[in-house]
């Protein structure tokens, strides 16, 4: 029997779905996931209203609900659970890290892992910097491309708070990877940091000829 919380949001999403939008969204993600067919602005409004009306006060319950949502076929419920965790910042603790890892490595595609970074990962590590090195190093050295991607991208919005030594180490470890999403992440991370220190990024690209053409193009896009 599904959790009452999950049953209710499923009814709300189903009532607001659109089959035409659902078909387009499914095709966009290469037919990997099902969709209700709810455009992002409406989905976020429905979700936020629901979060406010159904507060969660226990991390264990939060974890159970997030995994239950992810185990549903509709992608909107995956987004709902990512933003649910982002909404409940007050419950974040070291317990949240295994949950984050689970979210990155289950039902994974670029838009879910990047959304997890936007709503949770980058903000979590700013709040709990003592966990950065142990966890992001583990991610970077793993064989999971999505964990590796997050080790490179978690500092995407840090600007002058970016740990360039860590960024350098993580890029260098993945520099010969042929996976598109890792190469794209490397370029994206460098391009983002170029807004803070363009000279550092230009020098990095010049001194790392092993970078793929994709990573170089992305890194120097606005230089």
Distance of CA 177 to the CA centre of its chain: 20
Within a domain: residue 171? Answer: yes
Residue 16: Cβ within 10 Å count: 16
Domain of residue 18: give its range: 1-91
Residue 31: Cβ within 10 Å count: 9
pLDDT in tens, the chain (223 residues): 567 889 999 999 999 999 999 999 999 999 999 999 999 999 999 999 999 999 999 999 999 999 999 999 999 999 999 999 999 999 999 999 999 999 999 999 999 999 999 999 999 999 999 999 999 999 999 999 999 999 999 999 999 999 999 999 999 999 999 999 999 999 999 999 999 999 999 999 999 999 999 999 999 998 7
pLDDT tens figures, 27-82: 999 999 999 999 999 999 999 999 999 999 999 999 999 999 999 999 999 999 99
Asked which of 42, 69, 91 is the last residue of a domain, the reply is 91
Within a domain: residue 149? Answer: yes
| Co-location of 69 and 158 in the same domain | no
Within a domain: residue 36? Answer: yes
Within a domain: residue 17? Answer: yes
pTM flag (> 0.75)? yes
Within a domain: residue 116? Answer: no
Q: Say if CB 191 and CB 171 are below 8 A apart.
A: no
Structure tokens belonging to residue 88? 């409940």
Within a domain: residue 119? Answer: no
Number of structural domains (the chain) is 2
- Measuring CA to CA, which residue among 96, 103, 166, 107 is closest to residue 138? 166
Distance CA 53, CA 22 (A): 27
Tokens 């979700």 map to which residue?
A: 47
Within a domain: residue 61? Answer: yes
| Co-location of 84 and 138 in the same domain | no
Q: Which residues contact 145 (CB under 8 A, 6 or more apart)?
A: 177, 179, 181, 182
CATH number at 160 reads 1.25.10.90
SS3 156: coil
DSSP labels, 155-194: TTT-GGG--HHHHHHHHHHHTT---HHHHHHHHHHHHHHH
Asked which of 66, 91, 116 is the last residue of a domain, the reply is 91
| Co-location of 78 and 136 in the same domain | no
Distance CA 171, CA 148 (A): 9
Within a domain: residue 117? Answer: no
- Measuring CA to CA, which residue among 154, 128, 129, 130 is closest to residue 140? 154
Distance CA 11, CA 57 (A): 23
| Co-location of 65 and 144 in the same domain | no
């Amino acid at each position: 029997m599904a959790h009452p919380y999950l049953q209710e949001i499923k009814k709300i999403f189903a009532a607001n779905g659109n089959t035409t939008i659902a078909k387009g969204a499914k095709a966009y993600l290469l037919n990997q996931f099902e969709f209700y067919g709810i455009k992002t602005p409406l989905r976020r409004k429905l979700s936020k209203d629901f979060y406010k009306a159904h507060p969660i006060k226990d991390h264990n319950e939060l974890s159970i609900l997030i995994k239950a949502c992810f185990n549903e076929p509709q992608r909107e419920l995956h987004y709902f659970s990512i933003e649910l965790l982002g909404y409940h910042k007050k419950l974040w603790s070291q317990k949240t890290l295994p949950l984050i890892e689970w979210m990155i490595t289950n039902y994974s595609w670029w838009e879910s892992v990047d959304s997890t970074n936007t709503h949770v990962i980058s903000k979590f590590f700013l709040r709990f910097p003592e966990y950065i090195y142990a966890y992001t190093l583990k991610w970077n050295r793993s064989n999971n491309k999505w964990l590796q991607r997050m080790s490179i991208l978690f500092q995407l919005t840090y600007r002058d708070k970016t740990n360039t030594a860590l960024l350098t180490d993580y890029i260098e470890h993945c520099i010969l990877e042929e996976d598109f999403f890792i190469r794209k992440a490397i370029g994206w991370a460098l391009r983002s940091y170029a807004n803070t220190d363009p000279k550092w990024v230009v020098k990095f690209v010049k001194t790392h000829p092993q970078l793929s053409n994709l990573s170089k193009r992305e890194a120097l896009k606005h230089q």
